[in-house]
Structure 1
Amino acid sequence: MDSWVWWLLVAVGLGIPLVITVLPEFGLFALGAVGAAIAAGVGADVVWQFVTFLVVSVSMLVVVRPIAYRKLDRGPQIRMGIEALRGARATVQERVDQHGGRIKLNGEVWSARTLHPDRVYEPGQQVDVVEIQGATALVD
């Protein structure tokens, strides 16, 4: 059997733990094995095949791996809980002033206070939720 076939078998063998463990490093080593198979296919001797495998694998680890992990870390930021309520629009249900009131926020009635003591919002007005303090929304 030609050596390029062996390298392709090594690439497939490295692909199996990639699928099982979901560690991208195995895929990078599999690409190194594919590079060695290409080198073997063009007639490189065994030493150059191993050098190609090492150079491609290490360069993939050095260059591609950090980029991939940075992309994974920057996944979509999903705001949940109280964080999701900041900046939301609400409708005043009962007069809201510095002492209190009620708003309808995401289909629920919340107690609310104004962020600025001199402001007053009447029922039906739209307000923005600036902050949540306990079970009270500060609105502006």
Structure 2
Amino acid sequence: MSIWTVCQELIVSSHTIGANMGYSPIMSRRRERLAWLVVAINSGRYSAAVGTRNEAFLNDFALATRAATKQTPSGAHCAALSADLLELFLRGYVTRVIQRVKSSGMSTYWFYEYRITTDGKREAETVEASGTITLE
């Protein structure tokens, strides 16, 4: 049984309880964001490694998941994307390395690049097979 199946069962039961108590489906949105991320990273659409500084990746994530972004002096930032990439890293679905500045090759020490793992590929295939997440 995959982690997504377990999460779906927990979410369905929490929705039933939450609906009766007037709560919103927050966990469902998080599950959808994680599923979208693992499929997007596995697709290779954004290169072999993705990061929060990749503008196309960040914008597509925000549009697909309705996540909030804010402009900072260093560019757009999405707290949900950072948190969800960390969650995938902790689950073993992606690895992370310190991003390098392309012009100088120096490490940034602030940002990471994430690459899909074998477990992540397996999870992405499971999510894609379920038909719940599609990249447009």
Tell me which interval the TM-score lies in, with the shorter structure as reference length: under 0.3
The structure whose residues are more often strand, as a share, is: 1
Q: Calculate the TM-score normalised by the size of structure 2.
A: 0.25
Q: Calculate the TM-score normalised by the size of structure 1.
A: 0.25
Larger radius of gyration: 1
